[in-house]
């Protein structure tokens, strides 16, 4: 009986190894964790800090008038921030960097628009905001 | 025979007419001796004639002498030969020249003497009557007149002359009976017939107009023309048949009366009877006086076949008796009417007619007409000049062109410059005039003045005309001299016609209103200022505005038309004047077409709507000028209900809206409109519209460009900057939410597979989580292996898959266990058959089965 038991055990183990599942995912709502001032994930090369700085910049732009003048653009930027946060929290560091780059580009555009409006307002020019694709 | 002699004869006739009243009267009343009545014909010797010609005249005179058979025949023969027989009545023989006196002494009554040589030629004389000297004293006054007689000598009367046909009896009391048998009776004579004891002859008898006496017992006796002696003898013979005792018979002339007829323009024309010394004035008085309108200077006396015309007015003004012929019985006095009376009998207005001249229709009168106060025909008097005639016509009026008075004398026209004459006093400037001259004073305006210093003002001024200018005279000076513009003048459109033919416009009103120091145009001699008439808005004729002064505005304005233009006006002025744009006017695309003066007439466009909305430099309004055409287009009708109107809308002024909107179509659009305007015009998105993916195709750029619009985000945030700028020509597409899966990009959707209620592709936002996705996909089914939901991430850098334990999440509520899901990822919900336990159990089952088989085999 001993060889039989051994064989059965081998088959069961072999079958068990054939049904391996991916690791559980995380970061699906990472923005909420950041909103709670959770520390950035340790295992990254500074991307987390970049992200935090970028999100902070987004917040400041929103406070400086962006939220009032360009709410849709702020919202879109915020979504990119959410994505970057999620990607970073989910281990998709490379994607997180790309998202951060996109986010920074969006923020740059918002900042330019704000600066331009400030200049036009000082010169008494047109008050209507510029339009364009997001 | 000789017209010159005939003319002289007429002159002699007039002279005799003038002196006739004195000479015969003197002859009759002469008490110094015998008188003789004779006729005389002069055969004039041509100038330079010799003795042969004189002999020829004498022979001709002898022929006449032999041919004549009486005094009447003497006159008749003279007329046939073209010679005039001059008659002298009862001329004192003592006063005749010696040769004539001798001849008269030898000749019997009715005999012609031999031809006598005279200073002028040859003279024939015929004795018609003789008389002895009177035995009673005559009128002392007549004697005085005779003593003072200074009339012409009959020998010097020349070839022509005229005398009465009958002797002239002395006026006054009855003639004494006696041997005055030579006196011839005439009509009007009143005679007394003495027959003793017969009462029938107690009255006097008058010779009637036919020369007859009607006497008792003997009836009619023709006595006119017969001497008193002849009449006495004839009546005596007739009475002798009735009366035996005629010893005391005698017939004497008691009175010589004048039987006249006054005709013409007198109050009571007809036969009248005057005393023997009656004059023309008494005759006219007997006829009731002259009627107003009688032509005084051409009164006539008709005597037999002769007509004497004389100037009675001259007599009235001078009192000269010689002017008026002495009346004779049976004379007919005719008073002509003035030509001013006309052909229709009307009441005579002496005031007006007298002012029209006194010249009647006399060809010799001077006619003065034109700009004089009393034009008319005026009798000419020697010595009168043009100035006198002008004064006679009441002087010139204030409109007279005194520099251009026309004078026609003897068919020779001349121009009289009265102004120059008055300035210089040079009488040489006065043209000569005479009888029959014509003077015309033209109006000043008819005169065309031109000169080195003349400028002209025409049109709507009070006194247009030519003006003499001086150095330094300004435009306003000249205009003021012309009376200034009238209220009909268009002072904005004045024109200055230069002497060289160029035309310069001048806007006086602008100059006055602005006072901007614009210099007045310099006016030089020869220039003309034209002030046109103002054009009335209600003027029927649009032709009054020349093309170079008109501008046209057509299209969607309230009063399109053609208007007079001034270049200082702007496009806004024109639109306002045309009543403004209508409610359907497309003022964002006003088109302006030039006049072609600068070449091609490329239309210019002006966005009045943008100018009104945004403002801008006033200089940005296109300048327009006369000759231009302004078109204000009209907005298209409803594109849904009236598609035919679409063709009137140009493509580059349209925007296209397609897809899930209420009224897709082509819409009139201008850059002032926004995206929402267009979307609203298209009645907005429908319920099936996918607001997240609206596409705008920009077609007016250099390349293709498409803008994506998340209108839902706009509605969520109100961020105006989301709305893209759209321009005419762009295309807006609102897609359908339920579009084909092929149109969904894989990077924008999350694929949900496996054991869910509605597996498929779902749009996903970064705000969502896997929980939202599962819920949208209907949730896991009962067969779902919820502990191992797999998420495959579309990553840039590495393949990544994660699992999600929904059961545990539900148990713990740990959000950190939610996996990352992004658009492009794939979510797989495996069935429970894919669980490890199930697989294990299946494996165990299989192993048991194998072991059972092995055990069975081993048992066997």
Stated as kind and residue range, the H or E segment containing B712 is: helix B711-717
Angle among Cα B186, B190, B191 to the nearest 5 degrees reads 100
Q: B805 with B835: CB under 8 angstroms?
A: no
As given in the structure block, the two tokens for residue B285 are 């008085």
Measured between beta carbons, the chain A residues lying within 8 angstroms of B724 are: 131-133
Q: What is the mean pLDDT of chain B?
A: 79
Measured between beta carbons, the chain A residues lying within 8 angstroms of B847 are: 8, 11-12
Distance of CA B126 to the CA centre of its chain: 74
Q: Is the pLDDT of residue B24 over 90?
A: no
Strand partners, B192: B204, B252
Q: Is the dihedral of CA B646, B651, B655, B657 positive or negative?
A: positive
Cβ–Cβ gap B767/A86 under 8 Å: no
Q: B255 with B192: CB under 8 angstroms?
A: no
Mean pLDDT of B41-66: 80
Q: A76 with B765: CB under 8 angstroms?
A: no
Measured between beta carbons, the chain A residues lying within 8 angstroms of B677 are: none
Confidence of residue B7 (pLDDT cuts 50, 70, 90): very low
Measured between beta carbons, the chain B residues lying within 8 angstroms of A133 are: 707-709, 724
The pLDDT value given to residue B382: 81
Q: Is the pLDDT of residue B492 over 90?
A: no
Helix (H), strand (E), coil (C) string for B599-645: CCCCCEEECHHHHHHHCCCHHHCCCCCCCCEEEECECCCCCCCCHHH
Residues B390-441 pLDDT 10s: 988 889 888 888 888 989 888 888 889 888 888 888 888 899 888 888 999 9
Measured between beta carbons, the chain A residues lying within 8 angstroms of B848 are: 8
Confidence of residue B360 (pLDDT cuts 50, 70, 90): low
Cβ–Cβ gap B796/A91 under 8 Å: no
Q: B841 with B766: CB under 8 angstroms?
A: no
Q: Is the pLDDT of residue B775 over 90?
A: yes
B725: Cβ contacts below 8 Å, ≥ 6 apart = A131, A132, B675
Strand partners, B506: B494
* Separation of alpha carbons B652 and B188, rounded Å: 125
- Which percentage of chain B shows pLDDT scores above 70? 83
Mean pLDDT of A71-100: 89
Angle among Cα A56, A62, A64 to the nearest 5 degrees reads 105
Nearest to B721 by CA among A126, A81, A98, A122: A126
Indicate the range of B407-411, B772-776, B839-843 predicted with least confidence.
Answer: B839-843
Q: Is the pLDDT of residue B60 over 60?
A: yes
Nearest-by-Cβ selection for A73 from B721, B790, B802: B721
The nearest alpha carbon in chain B to A84 belongs to: B766
- Shortest distance, CA A2 to any CA of chain B (angstroms): 12
Measured between beta carbons, the chain B residues lying within 8 angstroms of A12 are: 840, 843-844, 847
Give the residue, B369 or B351, on which the prediction is more confident.
Answer: B369
Residues B812-829 pLDDT 10s: 888 888 899 989 899 999
Measured between beta carbons, the chain B residues lying within 8 angstroms of A21 are: 788, 790, 803, 836
Backbone angles phi, psi at B105, to 5 degrees: -65, -30
The pLDDT value given to residue A112: 92
Nearest-by-Cβ selection for B723 from A69, A70, A131: A131
Nearest to B225 by CA among B304, B279, B146: B304
Q: Is the pLDDT of residue B61 over 70?
A: yes
Measured between beta carbons, the chain A residues lying within 8 angstroms of B837 are: none
Nearest-by-Cβ selection for B796 from A16, A70, A98: A98
Q: B101 with B117: CB under 8 angstroms?
A: no
Mean pLDDT of B76-102: 79
The nearest alpha carbon in chain A to B804 belongs to: A24
* Separation of alpha carbons B34 and B28, rounded Å: 10
Stated as kind and residue range, the H or E segment containing B190 is: strand B189-194
Mean pLDDT of B601-607: 77
Residue B658 DSSP SS3: strand
The pLDDT value given to residue B292: 82
Tell me, yes or no, if A3 comes closer than 8 A to chain B by beta carbon: no
The pLDDT value given to residue B147: 39
Indicate the range of A57-61, B345-349, B490-494, B626-630 predicted with least confidence.
Answer: B345-349
* Separation of alpha carbons B613 and B615, rounded Å: 6
Mutate to test the interface with B, among A74, A92, A96 (most CBs of B within 10 A): A92
Q: Is the pLDDT of residue A107 over 90?
A: yes
- Strands B665-668 and B604-606, bridge-based pairing: unpaired
Cβ–Cβ gap A82/B766 under 8 Å: yes
The pLDDT value given to residue A40: 55
The pLDDT value given to residue B665: 84
Helix, strand, coil percent values for chain A (each to nearest 5): 70, 0, 25
* Separation of alpha carbons B818 and B46, rounded Å: 169
* Separation of alpha carbons B117 and B235, rounded Å: 45
Give the residue, B155 or A96, on which the prediction is more confident.
Answer: A96
Mean pLDDT of A107-124: 86
Nearest-by-Cβ selection for A23 from B721, B770, B802: B802
Stated as kind and residue range, the H or E segment containing B691 is: none
Angle among Cα B180, B184, B185 to the nearest 5 degrees reads 110
Distance of CA B715 to the CA centre of its chain: 79
Confidence of residue B646 (pLDDT cuts 50, 70, 90): low
Strand partners, B377: B367
Mean pLDDT of A31-53: 68
Angle among Cα B645, B647, B653 to the nearest 5 degrees reads 100
Nearest to B251 by CA among B213, B289, B292, B304: B213
Q: Is the pLDDT of residue B725 over 60?
A: yes
Stated as kind and residue range, the H or E segment containing A59 is: helix A47-61
* Separation of alpha carbons B468 and B479, rounded Å: 12
Mutate to test the interface with A, among B615, B793, B797, B802 (most CBs of A within 10 A): B802
Cβ–Cβ gap A11/B713 under 8 Å: no
* Separation of alpha carbons A69 and B776, rounded Å: 33
Strand partners, B252: B192
Cβ–Cβ gap B797/A95 under 8 Å: yes
Q: B650 with B605: CB under 8 angstroms?
A: no
Q: Is the pLDDT of residue B356 over 70?
A: no
Measured between beta carbons, the chain B residues lying within 8 angstroms of A86 are: 766, 820, 822
Q: B122 with B131: CB under 8 angstroms?
A: no
Cβ–Cβ gap B720/A128 under 8 Å: yes
Report DSSP state, residue B607: -
Q: B27 with B89: CB under 8 angstroms?
A: yes
Give the residue, B31 or B449, on which the prediction is more confident.
Answer: B449
The pLDDT value given to residue A99: 92
Q: Is the pLDDT of residue B585 over 90?
A: no
Cβ–Cβ gap B797/A113 under 8 Å: no
Residue B503 DSSP SS3: strand
As given in the structure block, the two tokens for residue B815 are 């959000």
Confidence of residue B270 (pLDDT cuts 50, 70, 90): very high
Give the residue, B765 or B453, on which the prediction is more confident.
Answer: B765
Cβ–Cβ gap B721/A4 under 8 Å: no
The pLDDT value given to residue B86: 80
Q: B273 with B256: CB under 8 angstroms?
A: no
* Separation of alpha carbons B408 and B433, rounded Å: 8
Indicate the range of A109-123, B131-145, B566-580 predicted with least confidence.
Answer: B131-145
- Tokens 């950035």 belong to residue: A40
Residues B149-176 pLDDT 10s: 343 333 333 333 333 333 333 333 333 3
Report DSSP state, residue B557: B
- Shortest distance, CA A95 to any CA of chain B (angstroms): 6
* Separation of alpha carbons B17 and B436, rounded Å: 25
Nearest to B730 by CA among A129, A69, A113, A131: A131
Indicate the range of A125-129, B569-573, B659-663 predicted with least confidence.
Answer: A125-129
Helix, strand, coil percent values for chain B (each to nearest 5): 30, 25, 45
Measured between beta carbons, the chain A residues lying within 8 angstroms of B763 are: none
Residue B671 DSSP SS3: coil
- Which percentage of chain A shows pLDDT scores above 70? 69
**Helix B51-67, helix B71-81: angle, nearest 10:** 130
Cβ–Cβ gap B796/A18 under 8 Å: no
Measured between beta carbons, the chain B residues lying within 8 angstroms of A129 are: 720-721
The nearest alpha carbon in chain B to A33 belongs to: B816
- Which percentage of chain B shows pLDDT scores above 90? 7
* Separation of alpha carbons B290 and B571, rounded Å: 84
The nearest alpha carbon in chain A to B817 belongs to: A26
Rounded to two decimals, the pTM is 0.40
Confidence of residue B756 (pLDDT cuts 50, 70, 90): very high
Q: A82 with B767: CB under 8 angstroms?
A: yes
Mean pLDDT of B310-314: 86
Nearest-by-Cβ selection for B720 from A19, A93, A129: A129
Backbone angles phi, psi at B75, to 5 degrees: -65, -40
Distance of CA B93 to the CA centre of its chain: 78
Q: What is the mean pLDDT of chain A?
A: 78
* Separation of alpha carbons B676 and B691, rounded Å: 13
Residues in A 14-43 with any Cβ partner in B closer than 8 A: 15-16, 18-19, 21-30, 32-33
As given in the structure block, the two tokens for residue B176 are 């004494």
* Separation of alpha carbons B798 and B571, rounded Å: 69
Residues B660-716 pLDDT 10s: 988 888 887 777 778 888 888 888 899 889 888 898 988 877 778 888 888 888 888
Measured between beta carbons, the chain B residues lying within 8 angstroms of A82 are: 766-767
The pLDDT value given to residue B8: 37
B321: Cβ contacts below 8 Å, ≥ 6 apart = B21, B315
Q: Is the pLDDT of residue B654 over 90?
A: no
Measured between beta carbons, the chain B residues lying within 8 angstroms of A66 are: none
Nearest-by-Cβ selection for A22 from B719, B766, B802: B802
Residues in A 57-116 with any Cβ partner in B closer than 8 A: 69-73, 75-76, 79-80, 82-83, 86-87, 89-95, 98, 113
- Shortest distance, CA B833 to any CA of chain A (angstroms): 11
Nearest to B328 by CA among B11, B21, B16, B18: B21
Nearest to A19 by CA among B842, B848, B835, B826: B835
Confidence of residue A109 (pLDDT cuts 50, 70, 90): very high
Nearest-by-Cβ selection for A26 from B725, B801, B817: B817
Mutate to test the interface with B, among A22, A41, A81 (most CBs of B within 10 A): A22
Measured between beta carbons, the chain B residues lying within 8 angstroms of A29 are: 769, 815-816, 818
Mutate to test the interface with B, among A9, A33, A58, A90 (most CBs of B within 10 A): A90
The pLDDT value given to residue B324: 85
Neighbours of A52 (CB within 10 A): 15
Q: Is the pLDDT of residue B4 over 60?
A: no
Stated as kind and residue range, the H or E segment containing A121 is: helix A93-123
The pLDDT value given to residue B717: 85
Stated as kind and residue range, the H or E segment containing B146 is: helix B140-147
Q: Is the pLDDT of residue A76 over 80?
A: yes
Give the residue, B169 or A72, on which the prediction is more confident.
Answer: A72
The pLDDT value given to residue A33: 67
Give the residue, A123 or B304, on which the prediction is more confident.
Answer: B304
Neighbours of B193 (CB within 10 A): 24
The nearest alpha carbon in chain A to B772 belongs to: A28
Cβ–Cβ gap B819/A71 under 8 Å: no
- Tokens 């040769």 belong to residue: B99
Measured between beta carbons, the chain B residues lying within 8 angstroms of A18 are: 839
Helix (H), strand (E), coil (C) string for B435-447: CCCEEEECECCCC
Nearest-by-Cβ selection for A28 from B709, B719, B819: B819
Measured between beta carbons, the chain A residues lying within 8 angstroms of B718 are: 71
């Amino acid at each position: 009986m001993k060889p039989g038991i051994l064989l059965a055990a081998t088959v069961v183990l072999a079958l068990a190894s054939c049904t391996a599942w991916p690791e559980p995912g995380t970061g699906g709502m990472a923005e909420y964790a950041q909103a709670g001032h959770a520390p950035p994930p340790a295992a990254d090369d500074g991307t987390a800090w970049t992200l935090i700085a970028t999100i902070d910049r987004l917040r400041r732009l929103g406070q400086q008038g962006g939220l009032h003048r360009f709410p849709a653009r702020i919202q879109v930027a915020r979504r990119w921030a959410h994505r970057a946060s999620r990607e970073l929290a989910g281990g998709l560091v490379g994607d997180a960097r790309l998202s951060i780059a996109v986010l920074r580009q969006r923020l740059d555009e918002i900042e330019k628009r704000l600066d331009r409006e400030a200049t036009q307002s000082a010169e008494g020019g047109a008050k209507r905001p510029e339009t364009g694709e997001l | 025979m000789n017209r010159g002699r005939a003319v002289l004869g007429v002159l002699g006739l007039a002279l005799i007419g003038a002196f006739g009243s004195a000479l015969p009267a003197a002859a009759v009343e002469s008490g110094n001796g015998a008188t003789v009545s004779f006729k005389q014909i002069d055969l004039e010797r041509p100038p330079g004639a010799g003795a042969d010609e004189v002999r020829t005249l004498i022979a001709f005179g002898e022929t006449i002498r032999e041919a004549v058979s009486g005094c009447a025949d003497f006159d008749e023969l003279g007329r046939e030969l073209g010679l005039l027989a001059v008659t002298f009545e009862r001329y004192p023989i003592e006063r005749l020249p010696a040769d004539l006196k001798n001849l008269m002494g030898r000749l019997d009554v009715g005999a012609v003497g031999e031809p006598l040589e005279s200073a002028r030629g040859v003279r024939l004389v015929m004795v018609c009557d003789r008389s002895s000297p009177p035995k009673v004293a005559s009128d002392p006054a007549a004697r005085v007149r005779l003593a003072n007689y200074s009339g012409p000598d009959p020998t010097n009367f020349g070839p022509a002359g005229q005398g009465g046909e009958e002797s002239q009896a002395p006026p006054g009391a009855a003639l004494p009976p006696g041997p005055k048998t030579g006196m011839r009776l005439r009509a009007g004579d009143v005679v007394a017939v003495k027959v003793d004891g017969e009462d029938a002859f107690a009255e006097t008898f008058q010779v009637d107009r036919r020369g007859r006496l009607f006497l008792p017992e003997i009836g009619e006796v023709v006595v006119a023309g017969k001497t008193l002696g002849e009449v006495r003898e004839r009546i005596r013979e007739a009475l002798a048949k009735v009366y035996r005792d005629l010893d005391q018979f005698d017939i004497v002339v008691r009175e010589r009366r004048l039987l006249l007829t006054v005709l013409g323009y007198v109050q009571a024309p007809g036969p009248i009877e005057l005393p023997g010394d009656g004059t023309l004035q008494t005759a006219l008085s007997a006829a009731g006086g002259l009627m107003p309108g009688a032509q005084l200077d051409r009164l006539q006396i008709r005597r037999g076949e002769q007509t004497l015309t004389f100037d009675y007015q001259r007599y009235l003004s001078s009192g000269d008796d010689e002017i008026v012929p002495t009346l004779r019985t049976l004379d007919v006095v005719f008073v002509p009417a003035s030509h001013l009376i006309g052909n229709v009998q009307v009441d005579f207005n002496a005031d007006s007619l007298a002012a029209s001249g006194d010249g009647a229709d006399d060809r010799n009168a001077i006619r003065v007409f034109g700009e004089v106060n009393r034009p008319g025909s005026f009798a000419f008097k020697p010595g009168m000049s043009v100035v006198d005639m002008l004064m006679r016509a009441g002087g010139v009026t204030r409109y007279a062109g005194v520099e251009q008075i026309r004078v026609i004398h003897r068919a020779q026209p001349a121009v009289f410059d009265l102004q120059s004459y008055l300035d210089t006093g040079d009488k040489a400037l006065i043209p000569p005039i005479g009888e029959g001259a014509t003077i015309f004073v033209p109006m000043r305006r008819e005169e065309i003045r031109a000169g080195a210093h003349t400028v002209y003002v025409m049109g709507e001024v009070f006194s247009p005309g030519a003006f003499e200018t001086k150095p330094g005279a300004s435009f306003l000076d000249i205009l003021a001299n012309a009376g200034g513009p009238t209220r009909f003048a268009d002072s904005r459109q004045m024109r200055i016609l230069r002497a060289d033919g160029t035309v310069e416009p001048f806007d006086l009103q602008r100059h006055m209103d602005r006072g901007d120091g614009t210099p007045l145009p310099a006016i030089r001699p020869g220039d003309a200022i034209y002030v046109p008439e103002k054009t009335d808005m209600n003027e029927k004729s649009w032709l009054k505005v020349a093309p170079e002064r008109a501008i046209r505005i057509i299209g969607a304005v309230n009063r399109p038309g053609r208007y007079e233009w001034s270049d200082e006006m702007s496009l806004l002025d024109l639109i306002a004047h045309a009543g403004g744009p209508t409610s359907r006017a497309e003022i964002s695309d006003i088109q302006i077409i030039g006049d072609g003066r600068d070449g091609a007439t490329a239309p210019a466009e002006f966005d009045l709507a943008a100018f009104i909305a945004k403002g801008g430099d006033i200089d940005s309004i296109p300048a327009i000028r006369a000759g231009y055409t302004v078109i204000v287009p009209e907005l298209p009708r409803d594109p849904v209900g009236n598609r035919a109107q679409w063709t009137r809308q140009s493509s580059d002024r349209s925007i296209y809206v397609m897809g899930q909107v209420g009224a897709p179509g082509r819409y009139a659009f201008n850059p002032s409109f926004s995206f929402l305007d267009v979307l609203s015009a298209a009645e907005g998105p429908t319920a099936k519209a996918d607001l997240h993916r609206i596409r705008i195709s920009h077609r007016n750029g250099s390349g293709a460009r498409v803008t994506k619009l998340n209108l839902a985000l706009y509605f969520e945030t109100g961020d105006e900057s989301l709305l893209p700028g759209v321009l005419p020509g762009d295309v807006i597409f609102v897609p359908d939410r339920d579009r084909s899966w092929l149109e969904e990009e894989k990077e924008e959707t999350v694929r949900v597979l496996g054991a869910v209620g509605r597996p498929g592709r779902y749009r996903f936002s970064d705000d969502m989580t896997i929980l939202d996705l599962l819920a949208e996909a209907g949730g896991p089914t009962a067969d779902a292996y919820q502990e191992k939901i797999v998420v495959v991430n579309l990553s840039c850098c590495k393949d990544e898959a994660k699992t999600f334990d929904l059961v545990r999440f539900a148990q713990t509520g740990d959000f950190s266990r939610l996996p990352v899901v992004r658009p492009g990822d794939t979510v797989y919900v495996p069935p429970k058959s894919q669980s490890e336990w199930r697989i294990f159990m299946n494996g165990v089952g299989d192993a048991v089965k194998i072991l059972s088989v092995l055990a069975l085999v081993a048992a066997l």
